[in-house]
Structure 1
Amino acid sequence: MRIRELQLHETAFLEEMLFHALFVPEGAKPFPPSIIYEPDIHKYIKDWGKTENDIAFVAEQNNKLIGVIWGRLFKESDMNYGFIDEAIPEIGMAVLAPYRNKGIGTRLIETIIRCYQNRGIKALSLSVSKQNEARKLYERAGFRVASENKSNFVMIKDIG
């Protein structure tokens, strides 16, 4: 398994994985695939790669893409689920189900942290459902709760 930068011609994979990144609680009705085109969700990948702070890495095994992590800066006027401020990229990630719990998510997080550190970014944020087991991965990676609502945590990690 290797981790490398997402290529612009692979943005369809990023789109597919945005759908996988959406948490559906056990017993809840799954989202329709079209949900990724809702403005509050699509903004995470819309016009991908048009700014220098759009960062994405993929995990690849046997020439198959199996996971992705991405980050993007948002303006306060366009803030979303994990927004803290305009200088802190919000990250998202997903690993295909058969490849979870194998350390891939940890390696993806470590990779994007190093990349943003090299660009002078001081912190990263994310949003995670309180019910999502991925929260434990983020905690192990050093993210801490910055705020919360009824169902989600906004987490931050200082990297600078």
Structure 2
Amino acid sequence: MTTYIIRSITEQDITFLWEMLFESIYTPEGQEPASRDIINNPSISKYVKDWGRDGDMGYIAVNDLGQSLGSITIRYFNKDNKGYGYVNDETPELGMAIRTEYRGRGIGTELLKTLLEQAKMEAINTLSLSVDPNNPAIKLYKRFGFKEVGMEGTSITMIVNL
């Protein structure tokens, strides 16, 4: 069993957020992962670039050795700068990734539970996300009440009402 804590993202975690941004790009089994340079694409880098702006919120799971295991974030986008899971200007978009070797251990569940509780306290009414239909994480999102509301390219857009 992995022992870890969940804490708010600090400025020192931004490098890890970039790493998790790359981890969040779903690669179907048997396919080569994208080049790490993909995170420099403006449509992807917008999820971390200038982290700490108004409305940004997130958490990191850290083990007892101080190693960061995964992250969860929400960030607001607008109609002129849409994210992949954009639904409207009032709904922040969720992003989450867990280091490959720590997946399937409940870390994503705890990160999502923590973020949803805080979002409710911040009076955020809905969250959205974008997920590949073949990504096993879709089961986690559905368990927490996310519902499919559309498709953007090859990914499903989901929302949850808080």
Normalised TM-score (structure 1): 0.95
Query: Are 1:57 and 2:59 matched, yes or no?
Result: yes
Aligned length: 158
Separation of aligned partners in 2, 1:150 and 1:11: 28
Distance, in Å, in 1 between the alignment partners of 2:69 and 2:141 is: 19
Correspondent of 2:44 among 41, 55, 69: 41
Alpha-carbon deviations, 1:62-99, whole Å to 9, x = none?
11110100110001111121001111110100011121
**Superposed, which structure 2 residues align to 1:1-160 within 5 Å?**
1-51=4-54, 53-62=55-64, 63-149=66-152, 151-159=154-162
CA change 1:86–1:92 in 2 (3 A) is same
Letter of the aligned partner of 1:34 in structure 2?
D
The separation in 2 between residues aligned to 1:64 and 1:150, in whole angstroms, is: 34
Q: Matched residues in 2 for 1:149 and 1:43: separation?
A: 17
SS at match of 1:10: helix
For the aligned residue pairs, the C-alpha RMSD in angstroms reads 1.1
Identity of aligned residues (%): 37
Structure-2 separation of matches of 1:78 and 1:138: 24
How many angstroms does 1:150 deviate by?
5.8
In the alignment, structure 1 segments of 5+ residues that lack a partner are none
Whole-Å separation in 2 of the counterparts to 1:82 and 1:32 = 22
TM-score (norm 2): 0.94
Q: Distance in 1 between matches of 2:9 and 2:18?
A: 12
Q: Distance in 2 between matches of 1:142 and 1:2?
A: 24
Name the SS for the 1:4 alignment partner. strand
